[in-house]
Amino acid sequence: GAGVSQSPSNKVTEKGKDVELRCDPISGHTALYWYRQSLGQGLEFLIYFQGNSAPDKSGLPSDRFSAERTGGSVSTLTIQRTQQEDSAVYLCASSRPPNMGPPGGRSYEQYFGPGTRLTVT
Amino acid sequence: GESVGLHLPTLSVQEGDNSIINCAYSNSASDYFIWYKQESGKGPQFIIDIRSNMDKRQGQRVTVLLNKTVKHLSLQIAATQPGDSAVYFCAENRYSGGGADGLTFGKGTHLIIQP
């Protein structure tokens, strides 16, 4: 079946421009996550959606970053007035509803997309 | 900061040898742990998970060990192959205002397989 898809795969933008990154989660996955991964680094949590609401925005690094999710499906991460330090791979992941884990307990497995590589020049 | 960390950023092993990747966590309330593999240019992919009511779980060529006493997690890969070269992340279930949802990831270990 279809996995998590992200677009564009690569984005080069000039400093100061706004960018929008898109994530299409797996159908039926109610939870959606955005992460940022700088070169050679780990995964930095940005924001989490359950349905259309975002109970946890604690990872957004500044007010230039925002995200929305409509219809409980597609999500858009927007970065305004991009800076060079925003250059990174932005990963999206989705997971099943909490009550749809394997027998014996919840599954927290997240399914990741291929990421969008953002380069700010 | 992150509550899950790794002891070594890079691990180099000979092809055919066994690999052990270690991970420490600090949240004693965590009850679920997961290992991901990330190949160059791709998103992380699930390898194996384990719940806190277990101390060992085996998959195909992989074994995860959990020591809750010292809050330590390890991933063992048997007879490593060139295709095992990747960055490996451990993660624990993450608690937010909405309860136990999401994952907190460690910094990752880059596994290099020498021919």
pLDDT digits (tens, 9 = 90+) for A2-42: 899 999 999 999 999 999 999 999 998 888 999 999 887 78
The pLDDT of residue A25: 96
Mean pLDDT of B73-102: 82
Q: Which positions in chain A touch B104 (Cβ < 8 Å)?
A: 45
> Which has more confidence, A27 or B9?
A27
Helices then strands, counting H and E runs in chain B, come out as 0, 11
Chain A residues close to B42, C-beta within 8 Å: 114-115
Confidence class for position A1, pLDDT limits 50, 70, 90: low
The whole-number pLDDT of residue B101 equals: 59
Mean pLDDT of chain B: 86
Position B26, amino acid: S
Confidence at residue B67, expressed as pLDDT on a 0 to 100 scale: 95
User: How does pLDDT run across B10-60, given as a tens digit for each residue?
Assistant: 999 999 999 999 999 888 888 889 999 999 889 999 999 998 889 999 999
pLDDT at A59: 87
Q: pLDDT band for position B1 (50/70/90)?
A: very low
In the stretch 23-52 of chain A, residues with CB closer than 8 A to chain B read 31, 33, 35, 41-43, 45, 48, 50
Which residues in chain B (83-112) have CB-CB distances under 8 A to chain A?
A: 89, 93-94, 96-98, 100-108
Interface test with A, best of B105, B107, B112 (most A CBs within 10 A): B105
Q: Which residues contact A5 (CB under 8 A, 6 or more apart)?
A: A23, A24, A113, A114
d(CA B37, CA B65): 17
Q: Band of the pLDDT at A94, cuts 50, 70, 90?
A: very high
CA distance A12 to A8: 10
- pLDDT level of residue A107 (50, 70, 90 thresholds): low
